[in-house]
Amino acid sequence: MHTPQHPHEPDSSQPSAMDAVRLRQLNRWQAEDLREDLADLYVESSTTPSGEEFRGRQEFLRRLAHDVQRPGFDMLVAEAEALAGCAYGVPVARDGSWWQGFEGPMPQNLEQLTASGHVFAITETLIHPHKDARGLARRLQERLLADHQASLGVTLLDQSDHLAFAAFEAWGWQEIGQIHRQPPSPAALRVLVLRLGARTADHPDGLAHNARTQRPE
Burial class (CB in 10 A: 0-12, 13-18, 19+), 49: exposed
Size of the chain in residues: 217
pLDDT interval class at 213 (50, 70, 90): very low
Q: Which of 55, 176, 10, 2 is nearest to 106 (CA)?
A: 176
Check residue 31 and give its pLDDT. 96
Domains defined along the chain, listed by start = 18-195 (3.40.630.30)
* Backbone conformation region of residue 203, classed left if phi is above 0, alpha if psi is from -120 to 50, else beta: beta
pLDDT interval class at 47 (50, 70, 90): confident
Check residue 204 and give its pLDDT. 45
What percentage of the chain reaches a pLDDT higher than 90? 55
Check residue 123 and give its pLDDT. 95
Whether the CB-CB separation of 27 and 34 falls below 8 Å is answered with no
- Distance, in Å, from the CA atom of 215 to the CA atom of 171, rounded to the nearest integer, reads 29
pLDDT at 211 over 60: no
Cis bond before residue 7 (omega within 30° of 0): no
- Distance, in Å, from the CA atom of 50 to the CA atom of 57, rounded to the nearest integer, reads 13
Task: Render pLDDT for 90-102 as a digit per residue (tens, 0 to 9).
Answer: 999 999 999 999 9
Helix axes 53-67, 35-45, angle to 10 degrees: 130
Residue 177 burial (CB count, 10 A): 18
pLDDT at 182 over 80: no
DSSP assignment letter at 99: G
